[in-house]
Amino acid sequence: MNDIFAIEPYGAGFHAAVGRPLNIRMARGSLEAAKTCAIRIPKGEFLAFASPGAPTSASWYTFGTGLAVDHGKFRENMEKYPDLADAIREIYEDIRDWCTGEQIGAHQDAYEREIASTGACWGGGWAGHSNPDYDRLLHLGTEGIRALIAEGLAKNPGAADFYEGTFLAMDALDVLGDRFRALAEELAASAEDPEDRAEYEATAAAFSVIPRRPAYDMRSAVLFFWMFFTFDGIDSPGRLDQFFLDYWRATPEAEAIKQLERLWQAFHETRTWNLCISGSDENWNDQTNEVSWAVLALAEKYKYQTPNITMRVHRNTPDALWNRAAEVLATGIGMPALYNDEVVCPALEKMGIPPIHSHLYCMNGCNQIDIMGKSHMGLEDGEVNFGKCLEYALFDGYDTMRDAQLSIHTGDASKFETFGELMEALYRQIDRITDVSVSLSLSSQMTYARYAPSPMRSCLLDGCLERGRDYKNGGPLYGDGQILSEGMPDCVDSLAAVKKFVFEEGRYTMAELLDALRKNFEGYGEMRAVLMTAPKFGNDDPYVDSIMKEVSDHWFAYLKTKHTFRGGTFAGGCSTFSRAANNGRACPALPNGHLRGDPMFADCIGAVPGQDVCGPTAAVKSALTYDQTEVTSGFVFQLRFDKALFATEKGMASFVSLAKSYFRGGGQQLSVNVLNPEELKEAQIHPERYGDLIVRVGGYSDYFVRLSRDLQDNIIARTNY
């Protein structure tokens, strides 16, 4: 007879604790999953891979989805295991109502969901990335963490249920460690190759220490980290060069490099997210170390599109590191992305985070900012499409793409007599759509706090054990939020065209413009051609840059009036990921000449692709229009350079000089594509010849031929310097 705990371990553990608090039920599920989940130590890699569930599992838990339920798999298992059908059905009827994703939808406002479906915004929907304190995990082991749990329980006896869940989470890691030791011993006994046998024996020896006790060298640290990382669901390593440093120095260099190289291969195979290197401490001391250099060497050697590498720079970053970053960028992988401590840290400090913690920031996902081991804020909480906001301002809240009145009334724009009236209408629409995004996000945050507690991550975020609160429910020290912008340059270019040709020159009336937009410029080709001659953001033109400053300042200030459920404040960012084309499709004809449903849309805080025609220095100056110390999520600024520039030391030195100038002027982030434009066009025609061509998309790198045609066109259209 089959064992229900082997077939459906997470669900069986969850169901066995029926009547107990949800965090305990989920911890029981994870403990049972740890006993039977798929584990492996692949030959050659010799890393400890752990799946969140067994191959037969129809329910599981990961950091991003919370509790997931596969309804079809449950029905399949009832048929496949008839002797357990009643038990499986009983588990299913219990657990199905706790599926986190379905609970999110059930708790969202229907009208707000309709607004989001137009492409005007989105909010919440998943738990988001975060950066657990891997340093604590590796340096304390589960026994040391249990001591912290016990201290917290003694101070907060009323939160006994919370602490019971965290104890169970540590039990789950111990179970996994024991299984990996047994597997390594078994593989060692059957290995025919003496070198393989030695590797498995060393792995078994490491697991006789970890996870209960601290890691002691690079092998044990990598094994411990990877076991947790894969069982947790694969997120972002964060400041890997900092938490691995002690173990690197405790290991002969050749062996340390070998272990990191194995991990690098695993990162690539699993599409691991963001890995951060270098940076400064609160006294501006540089924290570049041996692991930082090794990461760049591996990036250059393998030329993978993952993991997403980011490098922090500041006033004391060594010139040698700047130059090394340029050399790696010259390979064309689009990494490392560069982040400026001189802007990010002050921005975080404006949110109330002290320097001793602001300088611990790292990125996760594409480029969201987190305080490593101390926050749950490094996630995309929502997004606002400024092109749609402008549509609503021009048409009194009417969605011309849906043929429905969806947003608030802000006045008949055909009767506006001043540009200021249009701007006031726009601000009200921006505020309204931002409110919808924030509301959807808050609903999602509350749902995760109620339906998807995470006892395991609560052990690795400062504040949770001290407060007796889950990491999704106000436990971490910092819980700020991040709402992203899309299409702000498209919106601002449109505003410049209206200001110039309607309100200043009087070439067209607002009624004529609105008619042209409704008709997608059909019959208005000459008007469209004239409108497209208006100043464009990205060219160091004060006429349009001043409008960008007004719009962005308004939005940044408005966001900071909104508070998160997690116990913080919202602020802005810009990370298009792969969404730029979809946001363009959501928009009707706009005054900058954008046609209805055209996927060509701004892919970062810089110019609309192809509209920055005055060189990189002008593009940089326009990007400095934003007050980037108001931004606490990644604020992606992308530039594309011809490979020929990076083929010489002088060219790379010119790039470094430009990047330093941007950061000195107040820039937060810089992403770089080093490409041959003709190669991109050829790759569209002959994708089979360019399978290894990597491009920077919108905060991450990917293989060009894997992207949609719309994204490929967007990248090709970017100005090449």
Q: How far is CA 564 from CA 323, 453, 473, 567, in A?
A: 40, 17, 11, 6
Supply the DSSP string of 348-359, one letter for each residue. Answer: HHHTT--HHHHT
Q: Average per-residue pLDDT in the chain?
A: 95
Higher-confidence residue: 380 or 529?
529
Write down the pLDDT at residue 704. 85
At 721, the amino acid letter reads Y
Is the per-residue pLDDT at 489 higher than 70? Answer: yes
Residue 339's closest CA among 549, 575, 570?
A: 575
Return the axis-axis angle of helices 9-16 and 22-36, rounded to nearest 10°.
140
Structure tokens given for 524: 């208005």
Residue 286's closest CA among 310, 312, 324, 308?
A: 312
Give the E-state strand segments of 534-623 in sequence order: 570-574
pLDDT in tens, 589-631: 999 999 999 999 999 999 999 999 999 999 999 999 999 999 9
Is the per-residue pLDDT at 566 higher than 60? Answer: yes
From the number of C-beta atoms within 10 Å of its C-beta (0-12, 13-18, 19+), residue 477 rates as buried
CB-based contact 350:438 (threshold 8 Å): no
Radius of gyration of the CA atoms of the chain, in A: 26
Cα(615)–Cα(422) distance, integer angstroms? 31
Peptide bond into 318 cis (omega under 30): no
Cα(281)–Cα(319) distance, integer angstroms? 18
> How would you classify residue 523: left for phi > 0, otherwise alpha for psi between -120 and 50, otherwise beta?
left
Is the per-residue pLDDT at 700 higher than 90? Answer: no
Cα(35)–Cα(427) distance, integer angstroms? 55
CB-based contact 543:535 (threshold 8 Å): yes
CB-based contact 540:665 (threshold 8 Å): no
pLDDT in tens, 406-452: 999 999 999 999 999 999 999 999 999 999 999 999 999 999 999 99
Residue 570, SS3 per DSSP:
strand
Is the per-residue pLDDT at 1 higher than 60? Answer: no
Q: Select the highest-mean-pLDDT range: 126-130, 171-175, 645-649.
A: 171-175
Is the per-residue pLDDT at 650 higher than 80? Answer: yes
Is the per-residue pLDDT at 698 higher than 80? Answer: no
Cα(619)–Cα(548) distance, integer angstroms? 13
pLDDT in tens, 6-41: 999 999 999 999 999 999 999 999 999 999 999 999
pLDDT in tens, 77-127: 999 999 999 999 999 999 999 999 899 988 899 999 999 999 999 999 877
Angle at 552 between CA 550 and CA 585, to 5 degrees: 115
Residue 656's closest CA among 320, 366, 312, 278?
A: 320
CB-based contact 121:383 (threshold 8 Å): yes
Handedness of CA 651, 655, 656, 658 (dihedral sign): positive
Contacts of 296 (CB under 8 A, 6+ apart): 277, 309, 311, 324, 325, 328, 336
Pairing type for strands 669-675 and 337-340 reads: antiparallel
Structure tokens given for 522: 């059909």
Once rounded to an integer, what is the mean pLDDT over residues 707-716?
A: 85
Count of beta carbons in the 10 Å neighbourhood of residue 672? 24
Cα(24)–Cα(705) distance, integer angstroms? 46
Window from 365-369, 532-536, 541-545 with minimum mean pLDDT: 365-369
Write down the pLDDT at residue 270. 94
Is the per-residue pLDDT at 534 higher than 50? Answer: yes
DSSP 8-state symbol, 286: B
Residue with tokens 């726009």: 426
Share of the chain above pLDDT 90, in %: 87
Residue 48's closest CA among 237, 255, 263?
A: 263
Cα(17)–Cα(720) distance, integer angstroms? 60
Cα(417)–Cα(423) distance, integer angstroms? 12
At 484, the amino acid letter reads L
At 299, the amino acid letter reads A
Write down the pLDDT at residue 721. 79
Higher-confidence residue: 610 or 173?
173
pLDDT band at 2 (very low <50, low <70, confident <90, very high): low
